[in-house]
Amino acid sequence: MGQLRTASLMINELREFASFSPCEQRYIKRSIDIGLGRQDAFKLWARDASEISSIRSQYVAYQDLKGLRASVPAETGLEGIEDFMGKLVRMAAFDLAQDKLESFSSFRFLYERILGAKIRPWLPAAFCASSALPQIRPDRRKCLLHSISEAAATAPGWSDSEPSFFPEWIEKEVA
């Protein structure tokens, strides 16, 4: 029964990832490589000087990932919330300002993978806060904030199941 549940969850994750635009998929894979230290992002993802610069900035923006993973506050208390949310919102604002993630779904998909399942209760607040910052263009702000459903924003609980699908770069074969 457990293996069937795990397979079902992975299939749902694959379907969700497939629903994202190619731009979102590319950014998510690149961000997971940077956030989890899986690959040399410069060699794998940089196609030009602007992407080299963007990747360099993303490495800097993601420097607090390890600390964030270790300091997720309890959902019931307020201890440590200012430092945690400040860093999380700053990092989320960086990602959203890149104009690659188009919705809460793609944002959540990425952040569950780079920070783990225990980040889920904090994602709606981080997404809404970072989406509403003046660094995000007003038209983009509107689209982002409209992308989060009422159900996601007001969920009474969150799954503690870790993500099982982590998309990766796939080398195209030359025929």
- The pLDDT, as a whole number, for residue 109 is 98
Query: How far is 110 from 123, CA to CA, in rounded Å?
Result: 11
**Residue 75 reports pLDDT greater than 80:** no
Within 8 A by CB and 6+ apart from 10, the residues are 164, 165
Average pLDDT over the chain reads 91
**Quick one: pLDDT band at residue 76, thresholds 50, 70, 90?**
confident
Query: What would the pLDDT profile of 15-52 be if each residue is shown by its tens digit?
Result: 999 999 999 999 999 999 999 999 899 999 999 999 99
The pTM (predicted TM-score) of the whole model is 0.91
Higher-pLDDT residue of 122 and 6 is 122
Domain ranges within the chain, ordered by starting residue: 2-153
Answer whether residue 84 shows pLDDT above 60. Answer: yes
Contact between 114 and 31 (Cβ < 8 Å) = yes
What is the rounded (10 degree) CA torsion for 54, 110, 144, 77?
-110
The predicted-structure confidence for 47-71, as pLDDT tens digits, reads as follows 999 999 999 999 999 999 999 999 9
